Amino acid sequence: MGTEQKVKQILSSVLNLGDRVAKFDASTPLLGAVPELDSMAVVSLLTALENKFGFTIDDDEVDGRTFASMGNLVAFVEGKLAA
């Protein structure tokens, strides 16, 4: 399973999106477009990403662009995995 699929699973689980996440692609907007993705959900999502992928996310590594789209979030995760 690729990184994008794993991120989709985490999004679905943390935000309770069900099958909606299956339609997400790299251009799908997240922050501001997915009502379930509020500030508290961002914290839960970051924690879930850390747990799933085994990396640590520092506060200064994340900004609004990280969650602008599905592609941005996957690219962030892939960047963390490559570091």
Domains of the chain as residue ranges with CATH: 3-82 (1.10.1200.10)
Q: What is the pLDDT of residue 31?
A: 94
Q: What is the pLDDT of residue 33?
A: 96
CA dist 9 → 23, 55, 61 (Å): 12, 17, 22
Global confidence as pTM: 0.94
Question: Taking the mean position of all CA atoms in its chain, how far away is CA 79?
Answer: 13
Whether residue 45 contacts residue 14, with contact meaning beta carbons closer than 8 Å, is answered with yes
What is the helix (H) or strand (E) element at residue 32, kind and residue range? none
Q: What is the pLDDT of residue 1?
A: 83
Per-residue confidence of the chain (83 residues) as pLDDT tens digits? 899 999 999 999 999 999 999 999 999 999 999 999 999 999 999 999 999 999 999 999 999 999 999 999 999 999 999 99
Handedness of CA 55, 59, 65, 67 (dihedral sign): positive
